[in-house]
Structure 1
Amino acid sequence: MIVKMLKPYYIKAETNHVRIVLAYQYFSVIIDNKVYQFVPIESKEIRIHRKTKKIENIHDTFAFQRGKDVIFRKMTDLVAIPEFIYQLNSLAEPYFNKSPKTTTKKESDTIIEQLEKLNLSRLIDKALDTRDESSFYELVKLL
């Protein structure tokens, strides 16, 4: 089996999944030198977890038709085809969870805040060591 074409009808990004929805004329395979078109008789989507990048509906069955002849293939058969995996990954890659910048920014803000407090504590200690009363009171106000 060879993947001739794999184009999604549409792609939907959900909180935890990327759903690649298939339709007629968008997905075709070559089996025994004959082209079969995808038909949505059984499964009609590929569901991939956004964090793990794993296909979650691995046991689904897909139907392919050539004239009156319909062939059913499991997702496990399809994932055994390197070209299928390559095309699927290129479709889903923009939707995979990467380290969100907002989370990274929040983490770095927290770290900076902690470092500033430590620095302030050191400056207060220095003011106490040098008996600089005015600096001490100003620094305590910043806590």
Structure 2
Amino acid sequence: MVTVKMLKPYYIKTDHEYVRIVLAYQYFSVVIRDKDYQFIPIEANEIRINRKTQKVENVEAKFAFQNGKDVVYLTMAKLITLPDFLQQLHSIASTYYINEAQESSKEQNIESAIIIEELEKLNVKRLIDKALDEHDEAAFYQLTKYLSNH
């Protein structure tokens, strides 16, 4: 029987798609047949989780654990079958997950920014028309220069 004794990230990297939990000595240990085994980074050393689906992506990764001269290899596929491993893993990565509310909020912010930019351009065009009506040459040149730069 395998149980996770400790799982702490050495550090966490994120990008648009993944949370990468990088492991190092003394940060990850398991208990196998009542013996403590420490993680050693001779094979895989990171856990890659999809930020949207919250699933571990590198299931083919093989992790090495050592107790004295005895080295045991566990695949990610084996580790994710352990409830305590998944629980600790998701508690580490959960703050980095992207939920649907965040996605829709980002999309709304982008749409709002586009609408505001378009309204600003329309407003500048109206001010240019006003400057022409009032024969305000300085305002006309200033507004047309502003419009061409934006």
TM-score of the two chains, using structure 1 as the length reference:
0.72
Aligned to 1:50: 51
Give the count of matched residue pairs: 111
* 1:38 has 2:39 as partner: yes
* 1:17 has 2:21 as partner: no
Q: Which runs of 5+ in 1 are unaligned?
A: 114-143
Aligned to 1:102: 106
1:29-57, CA deviations, whole angstroms, 9 ceiling, x for partnerless residues? 00000000000010000001111111110
Q: Give the match's secondary structure for 1:11.
A: strand
Task: Identify the range of structure 1 (51-60 vs 16-25) with the bigger mean alpha-carbon deviation.
Answer: 51-60
Q: Look up the equivalent residue of 1:24 and give its one-letter code.
A: Y
Percent identity for Structure 1 against Structure 2: 53
- Give the whole-Å Cα distance in 2 for the aligned partners of 1:79 and 1:102: 31
Aligned to 2:120: none
Give the 4+ runs in structure 1 shifted more than 6 A. none
- Give the whole-Å Cα distance in 1 for the aligned partners of 2:12 and 2:84: 19
Q: Look up the equivalent residue of 2:21 and give its one-letter code.
A: I
Q: Look up the equivalent residue of 1:44 and give its one-letter code.
A: N
TM-score of the two chains, using structure 2 as the length reference:
0.69
- Give the whole-Å Cα distance in 2 for the aligned partners of 1:26 and 1:43: 14
Aligned to 1:2: 3
Q: Look up the equivalent residue of 1:103 and give its one-letter code.
A: E
The offset of 1:104, in angstroms, is 3.2
- Give the whole-Å Cα distance in 2 for the aligned partners of 1:47 and 1:15: 12
The offset of 1:105, in angstroms, is 3.6
- Give the whole-Å Cα distance in 2 for the aligned partners of 1:102 and 1:30: 43
- Give the whole-Å Cα distance in 1 for the aligned partners of 2:106 and 2:60: 36
- Give the whole-Å Cα distance in 2 for the aligned partners of 1:102 and 1:77: 36
The offset of 1:106, in angstroms, is 4.3
RMSD: 1.8
Q: Which runs of 5+ in 2 are unaligned?
A: 117-150
- Give the whole-Å Cα distance in 2 for the aligned partners of 1:93 and 1:51: 11
1:52-82, CA deviations, whole angstroms, 9 ceiling, x for partnerless residues? 1111100110000011110001111101100
- Give the whole-Å Cα distance in 2 for the aligned partners of 1:6 and 1:105: 37
Aligned to 1:26: 27
